[in-house]
């Protein structure tokens, strides 16, 4: 793809699959026109339930469905990478209230309805601003 050739780049649940996603974000910067925007959506490392279930540092994390390169991201890391790539006005917000229909382990599948209710309630609290399940990011070239 040519430099400065597109208006929008969307990373929907993919950046957390790159061990080092700075090159990916720099590529987005390269192909975007001036004023173009990048958006991303990834799981939040600061969310306690995501951390317990998906982070390798957690003693009870599940490896089922976890790819070798997958990891949780922090708002600070996303913000830093967008800024280092040259983007301006980077905003990274945590959100909750995004329900799941299925997970890989039977124990988690059993608890899924409770998690979905909890996450919807959590979204209405001030804590969701930093500790919500997912990170939504946007930045402009």
Q: How far apart are CA 26 and CA 44, in angstroms?
A: 21
For residue 64, CA distances in Å to 31, 60, 129 come to: 35, 12, 29
CATH superfamily name and code, 6-140: Vaccinia Virus protein VP39 (3.40.50.150)
Q: How far apart are CA 48 and CA 134, in angstroms?
A: 12
Interval 105-140: pLDDT, tens: 787 788 889 889 999 999 999 999 999 999 999 999
pLDDT, residue 52, reads: 84
- Which sequence spans correspond to the domains of the chain? 6-140
pTM of the full predicted structure?
A: 0.88
């Amino acid at each position: 793809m040519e430099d400065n050739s597109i208006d929008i780049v969307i990373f929907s649940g993919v950046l957390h699959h790159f061990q080092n996603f700075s090159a990916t974000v720099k590529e987005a910067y390269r192909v975007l026109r001036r004023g173009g925007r990048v958006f991303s959506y990834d799981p939040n490392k600061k969310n306690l339930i995501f951390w317990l279930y998906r982070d390798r540092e957690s003693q009870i994390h599940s490896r089922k469905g976890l790819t070798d390169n997958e990891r949780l991201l922090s708002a600070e890391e996303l913000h830093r990478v967008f800024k280092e790539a040259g983007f301006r006005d980077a905003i990274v917000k945590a959100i909750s209230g995004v329900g799941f229909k299925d997970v890989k382990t039977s124990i988690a599948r059993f608890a899924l309805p409770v998690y979905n209710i909890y996450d919807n309630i959590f979204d209405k609290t001030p804590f969701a601003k930093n500790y919500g399940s997912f990170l939504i990011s946007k930045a402009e070239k």
